[in-house]
Structure 1
Amino acid sequence: MKIETNKSHRAVIYCRVSTEEQTLGGSLDYQEKECISFAQRHSLEVIRIFREEGESGRSGSRTQLNALVNFVSLRKNDISYVVVLKVDRLMRNHIEFYALETVLQKSKVRILYVLENNENNSNGKLARGISGVMAEYESNVNSERTKAGNREAFLSGRYIKKLKGYSFKINPLGKKQIYPNEDARYIIRGFELMAKGIYSQREVLTILKAEGFNSYPQAFNKILHNPVYCGFLPDTQGVNNGEAIKGIHEPLISKELFDKVQDIIDGKRPTATPRKRNNPSFPLRKFIRCRKCGRFMTSSFSQGKLKKYGYYHCSKCTSSTETRISKDVLEAVFLEYLKSLNIDNEAILWLQETVIAVFRNKTKYLEQQRRALDKDKKELEEEKSRLIHAVAAGRITAEDGSPEIQKINAKINEKQILLSDMVDSLDVDECWNFVQYFLNNLAEIWAKADLGLKQKLQCLISPEGFYFEEHLIKHIKTPYFISIFCSKTRDFKSKGG
């Protein structure tokens, strides 16, 4: 084969393997050696070698391939050729291949293959096209075989993914299987420490790290939730109706220990870990103030003869019984206080008009933007469809059509992302009905709400808290919410006070 140079004899070499195992096996070295020998036979000066270690040929977005394209595109590098062993080393997707070839042609760079036909005529192009299609076919077949192999492994109870605490070995049947390694003891100890119920996950991980274990909080959380450690494989592929399968590997812990840890993590079992600051039994904790010192009050239960009794009290004024308030009494008075709040209808009307005006202005603009994006996306999809039909009909070549199709796909994806980021329109009337219901039913909502909503409602009404004295609720100063929306701003005294 005679090579006619169009700029110089300068060339770069590209080598690729798909897996780390191939990297270790010397395939890259073989490719490099053959490519260098080919370049020497044709008097090509090799300027740089790009080695792709363990990246798939199904995608055109690869680290070293992208670096190669950028390198040869620079005029100062004066590159005329890219030397590669075979078509399938460069790409296993024919559309991506044509797109790459077009990009290189624009830089007047030609691809040369060590083991393929390099004739620059119709026969040569056909031969390389067939090689590319066969490479893609082989890739698809390998992908299907891999998926089938994964299904077969799962159904036979073999776990074939990397897992902390295990290493891969070949079992007596000649199949790859996981076996416990030196990290297994840390995994076992981690579950045992968690099962005690006296440590948090971070505390357990700190203990294990001090003993030599290497992990981080998110990974350790996944370990504690992974049933493979107790011998069961989760059906992540949906091949067993979502049901886990008993693994053939050696489990590190028992199913009972795993379930116990899950219950502790999910809060279904009591633990001796430090009590959370927010206690759902005392929603007014850190909200009511001590009338003597002004501090926020804490809370606790006292054991009576027949049951426990809850109290709010000051942690500073512990010797004073005047600052000790019954939970039942205080919360009943607070509930009556909420019922007594008379919402001013004129204030509600003003708020409604203001909110609706702002809302409609915002949604009008968003709707305009949505329609414009929808229109642009439809036009791009129509343009893409025309190009695909033109290529299929032979009106334009795949070399010319594929790059344009890729560009259009990128633009369509960009429009779709923008559309996905836009918040769906809300029914403003329905939202406002909820606001009115909320303002007119504060007591009912507070009584039924969880701790989080209770505290938010309390902060909305009186963010600085309140005092309680002889069944009288006193605000430090009139809260903004009450001054705007309530017709009564006086202190509230319960009917029983």
Structure 2
Amino acid sequence: MLINTVGKIIYEDYSAKTFMRPEWSQLVNEIKKTKGKNLNFIIFTKWDRFSRNTMDGYNMINFLTGYGIIPIAIEQPLDLTVPEQKLMLAVYLPMPEVENDRRGLNVKYGMRRARKGGRWMGPALPGYKNKVRENGVKYIAPDGLQAKLMTWVFESIAKDIYPTEHIWALAKRQGLKCSRVSFWNAVRNPCYCGKIIVPKFGDEDMHLVAGLHEPLVSEKIFYQAQDAMDGRKRNQYVKVRAPEDLSLRGFLICHKCGRILTGSASQGRHQLYYYYHCKRPCNVRFRCDAVNHYFEGFLKNFVPRPGMAQLFRQVVCDTYDDSASFLENDRSTFIKKITDYNLRITRARELLLNDTISSDEYKQLKNEAEEGILRAEAEIKELDQKIQLDRDIYAAVDESLESLKTYPNYF
């Protein structure tokens, strides 16, 4: 076999997993236009440089040979006109694909082991940034202002006062760098409370593990935010912005129908007169100046009388000291809940073994119980932090008493 002239040299830095490569696509178009009259051979180093996909490789060989063009691998030469040589071709072509598949599995297993070890894999979520330690280990860390904004986002969602979409818009105004789609995906990720998702693989169900990164919010706040977004919390929205003359608008409840009173101004002969009133058909109506004056007087009742501040201080401090026992009782309640959830999983497993329920029903019961366990553990963690909190309660009470003395001025 003699090759007289090299007609064209092609340099291309693309993966051979597919033939959708710019230079190769251009060569194929040229072959189709000229019917292969300008080419006799296509020469490359090895068959893994020709293709790393067995089926695509065979299809391309059939395409080339259909135009009378022979593919030649310099380091793995084959004469495709000899039938026995096709056995070697059947070895050379699948090997790159097998190598790719094995490499892909190794990467997948490695990433799964890393997730199980608590490491975040991939680009950091809003509020975090990717960093590398001196030993080359990659990790995520809070990203200054972005982290503070995401913490504020979760706390605001958990309060269930503003809609989530409105909270995103407010955070964007304050400097949050996050699109709407990324935001909705982020607020559902437990990474912010220090958990890493290990996805389902084979017979192993999806589960959460403790992450190595620093959480931005507590587990309790994270789950409260999830409940708010899922509509499990039924808080009643109130308006927090109102003119000074209508400062109580949105906070008063009608004594007849139970709805929240609104407020508006009526044009008099010489000035505007403000009223708190209910909506039709209810006719409840109050003068704003009278209500505001009464409420201001009501606030003055909370100002400590001379000599009572020290008594208040002692009572509050004694109550705070006694609260530790209540926290322990709450902790015991949540521990009992975890025990009940584990018993529920055990009973469900017994029902599955007795063929009383199906495997899908067992998985549903198990997932519900595990979610309950996670929430109870988050509550226990929050209680432990309160119990272990070494707080100067006396200084806090003194500060509160000073605030109470000027409390009516805040209105």
Structure 2 length-normalised TM:
0.49
Structure 1 length-normalised TM:
0.42
